[in-house]
Chains A and B, each alone.
Chain A
Amino acid sequence: MVNRLLEISKIPLTLITAIVIIIQLYMAFYYAQTEKYMGEIQKIMYFHVPSAFVAFVAFAIVFIGGVLYLYTKNKQWDYLAVSAAEIGVLFATFVLVTGSLWAKPVWNAWWVWEDPRLVTSLILWFMYIAYLFIRASVQGEERHRKFAAIFGIIAFLDVPLVYFSVKWWRTIHPKVIDEQGVHMPVEMAQTLFFSIIAFQFLFFTLLIYRFFLERQKEKIKEIKNIELKR
């Protein structure tokens, strides 16, 4: 049932995502004004921050997929987890790269260890690289699914601890959103929030395609096995 629904929604969702991303690009480059001190480089924010949100949602899905796979033993959950993990690593890489590109002119350094969010993101990236590592190196069908699920659960539970431990250091990351509200002009804020939503659309579209790819891969494997047994 759910699969059928996903099949049907694939094309409309892709179209919506394309439109939303085009609007996002327009907003980022034309609608939002250029920042006074940083200039053009500040526009990286409209891609950097949304990517970080995508990575985080992706890793949450890895966790949920892992738990449900262990609980139900339904392979579909594992397909979901591995798809989310791959896209999550991709976007996390994007976050690190765009962050460095921004930091070089603004902070005058590619990387700063004093900042908790940088360190947290890097550690997260390492964790999910390890997740993909397990999938690639553990032998046996059911085995690597199970092991990846277990590691995905542990890794995600570690995230809040990493966050707090690293946060208790000094921070220099620009804090545009805090308890007092949003510290930027309305157009910029609108663009940022729209970008976050647009990137989520992009993520879910990619996720659906990647999910079907994984399912097809498994089907081909099954067919091959049947052929071999004959």
Chain B
Amino acid sequence: MNFYKQTFLILKRDLTLEFRQKSLLFSMIIFALMLQVFLNIAFDTDMEAMQKLGAGILWIPILLSAMLGFNRIVAMDKENSVLTGLLVSPLDKGALYLGKFLGNLVLIFIVICISVPAFFLFVQQPYPNSLGLLIAVLILGSWGFVAMGVFLATLAQSSRITELLLPVMLFPLSVPLFLGIVQLTEVALYPSIEMSQNVWLILLASYDILFTIIPLFLFDYLLEV
């Protein structure tokens, strides 16, 4: 069985499990929407303030609901020693990582499809300056965050304090990603902001590529023990 087929099988397994119970997906969506509402109430938004905060308010619910997913995906594999089963199967560890990564990415995309329109609905924002750029940033941003998140969640699972350790590792490592997505989202949302977007796009893309490829190689070591 080749690498891509294995990846696809893991992806299929994760999504099948998820869509059967739907509990994780629902809680992620509800959480994202709730956070969206609460942030809007908390910042008591007026249009001018929104120009400064908008990019953050768009992203915080997405990133935090992604965090919910990371913890869950690890817990799921601990039940009934699923992970041990996967490890004894003749499966490429890189494919295991890639499959899990893609599975999580699909869930995040679903959350985005609901949370981002909600953002425009609640905040009564004008039509985004550049819809294409916004979509590109949403894809690149969540890609990088999920790639790092799935990898670090697997790393953190053998700790006594998994839930605490994950953010401690993930947030500092994702700073370049955060800066990139916030800057680009601002450009995408508001026509008045001028900025050189190319450098940020290159940064995002290199972050994504780097932290998708490196885990592929290091995942072997991670699961070996």
Chain A residues near B (Cβ < 8 Å):
70, 123, 126-127, 129-130, 133-134, 137-140, 142-143, 146-147, 149-151, 153-155, 157-158, 161-162, 164-166, 168-169
Bound Cα distance A31, B91 (Å):
66
CB atoms of A139 and B158 under 8 A apart: yes
* Bound CA–CA A200/B155 (angstroms): 33
Cβ of B207 within 8 Å of any chain A Cβ, yes or no, is yes
From DSSP, what is the main secondary structure of chain A's interface residues?
helix
B200/A147 in contact, CB under 8 A: no
17 A-B pairs (CB sep. < 8 Å): A70-B221, A126-B168, A130-B165, A130-B168, A133-B169, A137-B161, A139-B160, A140-B158, A143-B158, A146-B225, A150-B222, A151-B169, A153-B214, A154-B218, A164-B203, A166-B175, A166-B176
Q: Which residues of A contact B211 (CB under 8 A)?
A: 154
Whether A134 lies near B210 (C-beta < 8 A) is no
Question: Chain A nearest CB: distance from B92 CB in Å?
Answer: 18
Closest to A153 in B: B218
Q: Chain A residues with Cβ under 8 A from B176's Cβ? A: 158, 161-162, 164-166
Whether A147 lies near B207 (C-beta < 8 A) is no
Which residues of chain B have C-beta atoms less than 8 A from A70's C-beta? 221
Judge if B180 is at the interface, Cβ distance under 8 Å.
yes
Contact of A134 with B199 at beta-carbon distance under 8 Å, contacts A147-B222, A158-B176, A161-B210 already known: no
Q: Which of B128-164 contact A (CB under 8 A)?
A: 151, 155, 158-161
Q: Which of A126, A150, A161: most chain B CB closer than 10 A?
A: A161
* Cα distance, A129 to B173, chains bound together (Å): 12
- Is B79 located at the chain interface by the 8 A CB criterion? no
Are A134's CB and B200's CB within 8 A? no
The residue in B160, B175, B214 that gathers the most chain A C-beta atoms within 10 A of its C-beta is B175
Main secondary structure of the interface of B (DSSP, over half): helix
Q: Using a CB–CB distance below 8 Å, which chain B residues touch chain A?
A: 151, 155, 158-161, 165, 168-169, 171-173, 175-176, 179-180, 199-200, 203, 206-207, 210-211, 214, 218, 221-222, 224-225
Query: A70, A126, A130, A139 — which one has the most chain B CB atoms within 10 A of its CB?
Result: A130
The 9 closest A-B pairs by CB, nearest first: A165-B176, A126-B172, A161-B176, A137-B159, A165-B179, A127-B172, A130-B168, A130-B169, A138-B159
- CB-based contact B203/A161 at 8 Å: yes
Given A126-B172, A140-B225, A154-B214, decide whether A166 and B179 contact each other with a Cβ distance below 8 A.
Answer: yes
